[in-house]
Amino acid sequence: MTGKTPGNDNKDPAKGLRIISTINPTRLILWLVAITIVSFVIGFSILFLASGVPGNTGEPIAAFKLSAISNSTAFPLDGASAGNVLLTFGPGNLEISGGSAGDNLMEATVYAGSAPWEPEVSENTTGPVKTLSVTDKGHHSKEFFAVDAKRQWKIHLNEQVPIGLDVTIGVGDSRLDLGDLNLTALNVNAGVGGSEIDLGGYHGGRFDAMINSGVGDLELRVPSMSNTRITTSNGLGDVDVKGLRFDNGAYVTPGYDSAKPVNEIQIQHKVGSVTLEAV
Amino acid sequence: MQKNEQEYLAILRTRLSGTLPQENLDDILSDYAEHFRIGKSKGRSEEDLYTSLGSPEEVAREIKATYMVTKAEETRSCGNILHAVLSTIGLGLFNLVFVLVPFIVLVILLGLIFLAGVMFSVMGPVMFVFALLPILGISSFDFWFSPAAGLFFSIGITSFGILMIIGDYYLARTFYYLGIRYLKWNINVIKGTESIV
- For A83-103, the pLDDT digits (tens) are 999 998 877 788 999 988 888
- List all residues of chain B from 115 to 154 with a beta carbon under 8 Å from chain A: 134-137, 139-140, 142, 144-153
- Mind telling me how many Å the CA of A139 is from chain B's nearest CA? 5
Residue among B139, B146, B159 with most chain A CBs within 10 A, to mutate: B146
Burial of B53 (0-12, 13-18, 19+ CB in 10 A): middle
Sign of CA dihedral B171, B176, B181, B183: positive
| A146 to chain B: closest CA residue | B146
* Interface touch B136/A46, C-beta < 8 Å: no
Q: What value, to the nearest 5°, has the Cα angle with vertex B107 and ends B104 and B110?
A: 150
Please name the member of B134, B145, B166 whose beta carbon is closest to the beta carbon of A139.
B134
Closest CA to A251 of A260, A242, A259: A242
User: Looking at CA atoms only, how far is residue B183 from chain A in angstroms?
Assistant: 30
Task: Please report which confidence band the pLDDT of residue A11 belongs to, taking 50, 70 and 90 as the band edges.
Answer: low
End-to-end CA distance of chain B: 39
pLDDT per residue over B99-134, tens digit each?
A: 999 999 999 999 999 999 999 999 999 989 888 887
Rounded Cα–Cα distance for residues A225 and A255 (Å): 7
Chain segment A111-140, per-residue pLDDT in tens? 765 555 667 888 888 889 999 998 877 655
In this prediction the pTM is 0.53
Q: Which residues pair with A87 in a beta bridge?
A: A134, A167
pLDDT at A68: 32
Chain B residues lying within 8 Å of A146, measured CB to CB: 145-146
Percent of chain A predicted with pLDDT > 90: 41
B173 part of contact set with chain A, CB < 8 Å: no
C-alpha to C-alpha distance for A210 and A265, rounded to whole angstroms: 6
The confidence band for A145, taking pLDDT boundaries of 50, 70 and 90, is low
> From the candidates B128, B130, B159, B168, which should be mutated to test the interface with A, based on the most A CB atoms within 10 A?
B159
